[in-house]
Amino acid sequence: MTVQTLKKIIICFSFCVFVSEIQAQVFAAGEGHSLSICDDARIKAWGRNNRGQLGDGTTTDSNLPVQQSTLTNVIAVSAGSEYSLALKGNGTVWAWGDNSRGQLGIGNNVDSPNPVLVNGLNNVVAISCGGFHSMALKSDGTVWTWGWNLFGQLGHSDYIDVNSPVQVPSLTGVAGISAGWNHSLVLKSMGAVIAFGDNGNGQLGIGNLNSNTCIPTTITGFGNVAAVEAGGYHSLALKNNGSVYAWGANSFGQLGNGTNSDVNSPVNLDLLNGIIAISGAGLHSFAIKSDSTLLAWGANLNGELGIGTNISSNVPLLLSTISPVVSVSAGFSHSQAMDANGNFFNWGTNSLGQLGTGQNIDSNIPVAPINLCELSNFIVESESESRLKIFPNPTSGIFFIDESFRNESTRVSIFSLYGTLVYEGSTDKLIDISHLVGGVYRCQLMSSRLHSVKLFKY
């Protein structure tokens, strides 16, 4: 990172100050619904609710964010077709919504409009919803899957659905997971990528088409990967050097390589460099650059690219109305992003209220949901707590917590934007993350009287 770049980032990113104003920090876009975690570690949800995917105990759609009252201490969410998953700070996973294929993982196939505990999972550090199947990554580097398995997307060496989590055989040392509509991607700690499931459009990246596989298969000759994203029927990978590769379905240009032809092996997107985050779902894709600008490409029939038109693009385009951007999430045909000030935006199709604006009108420019995260006194319990900071932010690799909170009882956890736990320890010492890839991370502080979550940049 150059000095010039660092100066720009310092201007854009404030200190990690925990105050009583709650802002959206972690969010997920599904097929027709949206989820967000506020700073009080509770969930708000909006959009389609025909199967109870909002988790508010009803099956009534809502075009405004509704509070989910039962779950607390939530650190990550994921939205599938018509169901949802949440990861709590204690490593347990909770699920709600459609369960027709066992995708809730609760041992039966009965829908639930309320969050229920997923069977037998603990020490989980990342979750991912596909169309009708689910994935979880445990702290020991093992992967667990459940739900629909018609295409072998569970990786169990068979095509049998399961309604409780089952460990994927032979997968260890895993650093990241991502579930597509009917396929799955796994990132190994050494940077290799493994794929399984539907390959009708080459989305597994294994060099052929129409060859589904239920056995986890390594993409040969492809390494040094920092993150993977499984879209609807396409896949993305971010390499350590900031380059992006794509493969799979491309009928709407969702690969971003200037064509509309499917590709069955990873191709480098020459127009992209200096990328720190990626997101892909449905038929479109996003990338955040190191200067915190947002690029979009692919299907745009409902304005899901957010560029002010409804014209699809097979090359990355600048979404200029939000900057600096720190996080992005692509849904089936709507999208979400957050800027460095914690402001949340979404855009695209809104026929089911998934934009949370109080109406059901599509928007091809970013708009803010109404009453997403209101003021709360949950976090601030004393005058000194309201001044809690981490220094420096951005960091060059080493930072520390304000001395008022440097003690062994306060635990700090660092997560990537993909939900992977990358650091865990106490706040009584300098925190060294210099081994990580540059990008945006989520800092979580927990003690008996404090739970705070903020984004920072390295």
The model's pLDDT over 252-279, given as tens digits with 9 standing for 90+, comes to 999 999 999 999 999 999 989 999 999 9
pLDDT score recorded for residue 20: 29
pLDDT score recorded for residue 18: 26
Mean of per-residue pLDDT scores for the chain: 85
**E strand residue ranges, 69-141:** 74-79, 83-88, 93-97, 112-117, 124-129, 133-138
DSSP label at 375? B
Sign of CA dihedral 422, 426, 427, 430: negative
Question: CB of 278 within 8 A of CB of 227?
Answer: yes
Question: CB of 229 within 8 A of CB of 236?
Answer: yes
Residue 33 has pLDDT above 50, yes or no: yes
How deeply is 2 buried, as exposed, middle or buried, from its count of CB atoms within 10 A (0-12, 13-18, 19+)? exposed
User: CB atoms < 10 A from the CB of 253, how many?
Assistant: 23
Residue 73 has pLDDT above 80, yes or no: yes
The secondary element (H helix, E strand) that includes residue 457 is strand 450-457
Rounded distance, CA 415 to CA 343, Å?
Answer: 20
Sign of CA dihedral 307, 310, 311, 312: positive
CATH numbers and ranges of domains, the chain: 24-367 (2.130.10.30), 385-457 (2.60.40)
Please tell me the total number of residues recorded for the chain in this structure. Answer: 458
pLDDT score recorded for residue 385: 31
pLDDT score recorded for residue 412: 79
The model's pLDDT over 353-362, given as tens digits with 9 standing for 90+, comes to 999 999 999 9
Range picked from 20-24, 126-130, 442-446 for highest mean pLDDT: 126-130
The model's pLDDT over 199-253, given as tens digits with 9 standing for 90+, comes to 999 999 999 987 899 999 999 999 999 999 999 999 999 999 999 999 999 999 9
Backbone angles phi, psi at 154, to 5 degrees: -85, -20
pLDDT score recorded for residue 287: 97
pLDDT score recorded for residue 167: 98
Looking up tokens 């052929």 gives 208
Least confident of 236-245, 288-297, 382-391: 382-391
Report the chain's C-alpha Rg in angstroms: 20
Rounded distance, CA 200 to CA 206, Å?
Answer: 12
Least confident of 130-134, 155-159, 287-291, 449-453: 449-453
pLDDT score recorded for residue 455: 63
Cis omega (within 30 of 0) on the bond before 394?
yes
| Closest C-alpha to 20, from 452, 432, 325 | 452
DSSP 381-428: -STTGGG--EESSS-SSEEEE-GGG-STTSEEEEEETTS-EEEEEESS
- 346 by DSSP, 3-state: which? strand
Per-residue pLDDT band at 10 (split at 50, 70, 90): very low
The residues that bridge with 143 in the sheet, in sequence order, are 137
Per-residue pLDDT band at 454 (split at 50, 70, 90): low
Using CA atoms in the order 241, 247, 252, 254, what is the torsion angle rounded to 10 degrees?
Answer: -30
| Closest C-alpha to 215, from 159, 264, 299 | 159
Residue 21 has pLDDT above 50, yes or no: no
The model's pLDDT over 90-106, given as tens digits with 9 standing for 90+, comes to 899 999 999 999 999 99
pLDDT score recorded for residue 395: 73
Rounded to two decimals, the pTM is 0.81
What percent of the chain is predicted at pLDDT more than 90? 68
Rounded distance, CA 404 to CA 382, Å?
Answer: 12
pLDDT score recorded for residue 14: 23
Mean predicted confidence (pLDDT) in 280-291: 95
Higher-confidence residue: 47 or 75? 47
Residue 379 has pLDDT above 50, yes or no: no
